[in-house]
């Protein structure tokens, strides 16, 4: 029995945005190690498909449609899961969307949707579930999806980048709050470097400015060519959760480079600059 199986087998995992991408990969991995997986997604058909795959592979799963941009939906989810299952061992606040385009050209609806899903979905996921976790009083885990982008900057991806900076700082504060409260809840920041997912697929860009398509396509090609296999990355993430790590990176070397560059930027206090790779990507 692996360490993650010893810790998580028999527990309930609630994963938001689990109908695709990293959420899907984490759901599959949690199913493989013996957890009951609550697959939530705004797209019920996608959630159903992931849950069905987990069950077909011998695991336990159910699908629930949830829009994390609506705090009341997360409140209802938490009440339902604790009422029916008694406890949640792992909450993964994963749901997120990528938005591409100049900040002044992104429509209001796309801006609001991005911030509500990427930031408020994480915040209210915590707000909804933690009181129940504390009431149960057993050791539990909260994993928030940050990003390698939490430590960098990228023009025309400002909406996504700023949201991931926010998630990272929220997770750091939450970690300390659990210490102050003496709570048996492990807080983890999951930091994907570059994994092969559908986040840059063309259809995911509905509502973006017209000029965003070329950048989105270039990022999708880069991800397909150089990204880590999704299941491999998610195995690393679950291993990190079992080890009770705060920082859990799919590609630690990539995280280290991003952090070093960010520290250097702060120390120099110079204006932001475009590196050659960014210039080439944007055709600048």
The whole-number pLDDT of residue 216 equals: 85
> Tens digit of pLDDT for each residue in 88-143?
999 999 999 999 999 999 999 999 999 999 999 999 999 999 999 999 999 999 99
Average pLDDT value for the chain? 94
- The DSSP code for 120 is I
The whole-number pLDDT of residue 39 equals: 98
Please list the active-site residues.
Answer: 160
Strand, helix or coil for residue 37: strand
d(CA 19, CA 51): 9
Using pLDDT thresholds of 50, 70 and 90, give the confidence band for residue 226.
Answer: confident
Adjacency order of strands within the sheet including 247-249:
60-65, 36-41, 12-15, 90-93, 140-145, 185-191, 247-249
Asked whether the predicted pLDDT for residue 222 surpasses 90, the reply is: no
Q: Which domains does the chain have, with CATH numbers?
A: 3-282 (3.40.50.720)
Render 129-144 in DSSP notation, one character per residue.
HHHHHHHH-S-EEEEE
**What share of the chain in percent tops pLDDT 90?**
84
Alpha helices for 33-98 (secondary structure H)? 44-56, 71-85
The whole-number pLDDT of residue 4 equals: 96
CB 257 within 8 A of CB 133: no
d(CA 27, CA 8): 13
> Tens digit of pLDDT for each residue in 60-89?
999 999 999 999 999 999 999 999 999 999
pTM above 0.85, yes or no: yes
Asked whether the predicted pLDDT for residue 43 surpasses 80, the reply is: yes
The whole-number pLDDT of residue 278 equals: 76
CA dihedral over 29, 30, 35, 40, signed as positive or negative: negative
How large is the average pLDDT for residues 277-281? 74
Helices and strands, number each (H, E), in the chain:
11, 7
d(CA 256, CA 264): 12
The whole-number pLDDT of residue 284 equals: 62
**DSSP H or E run through 13:** strand 12-15
Render 228-262 in DSSP notation, one character per residue.
BPHHHHHHHHHHHHHTT-SEEESSHHHHHHHHHHH
Using pLDDT thresholds of 50, 70 and 90, give the confidence band for residue 29.
Answer: very high
């Amino acid at each position: 029995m692996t360490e993650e199986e010893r810790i998580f087998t028999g527990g309930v995992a609630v994963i938001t945005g689990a109908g695709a991408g990293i959420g899907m990969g984490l759901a599959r991995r949690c199913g493989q190690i013996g957890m009951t997986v609550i697959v939530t997604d705004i797209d019920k058909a996608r959630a159903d498909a992931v849950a069905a795959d987990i069950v077909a592979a011998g695991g336990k799963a159910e699908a629930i449609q949830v829009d994390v941009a609506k705090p009341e939906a997360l409140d209802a989810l938490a009440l339902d899961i604790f009422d029916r299952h008694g406890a949640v061992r792992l909450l993964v606040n994963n749901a997120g969307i990528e938005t591409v385009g100049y900040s002044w050209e992104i429509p209001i609806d796309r801006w609001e949707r991005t911030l509500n899903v990427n930031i408020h979905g994480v915040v209210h996921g915590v707000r909804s579930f933690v009181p129940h976790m504390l009431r149960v009083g057993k050791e539990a885990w909260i994993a928030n999806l940050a990003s390698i982008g939490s430590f960098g900057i990228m023009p025309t991806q400002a909406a996504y980048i700023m949201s991931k900076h926010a998630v990272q700082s929220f997770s750091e504060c939450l970690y300390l709050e659990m210490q102050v409260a003496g709570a048996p809840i492990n807080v983890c920041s999951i930091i994907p470097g570059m994994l092969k997912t559908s986040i840059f697929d063309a259809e995911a860009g509905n509502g973006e400015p017209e000029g965003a398509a070329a950048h989105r396509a270039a990022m999708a090609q880069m991800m397909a060519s150089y990204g880590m296999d999704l299941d491999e990355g998610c195995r690393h993430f679950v291993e990190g959760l079992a080890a009770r790590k705060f920082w859990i990176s799919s590609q630690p070397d990539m995280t280290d480079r991003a952090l070093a560059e960010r520290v250097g930027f702060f120390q120099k206090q110079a204006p932001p600059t475009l590196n050659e790779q960014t210039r080439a990507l944007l055709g600048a």
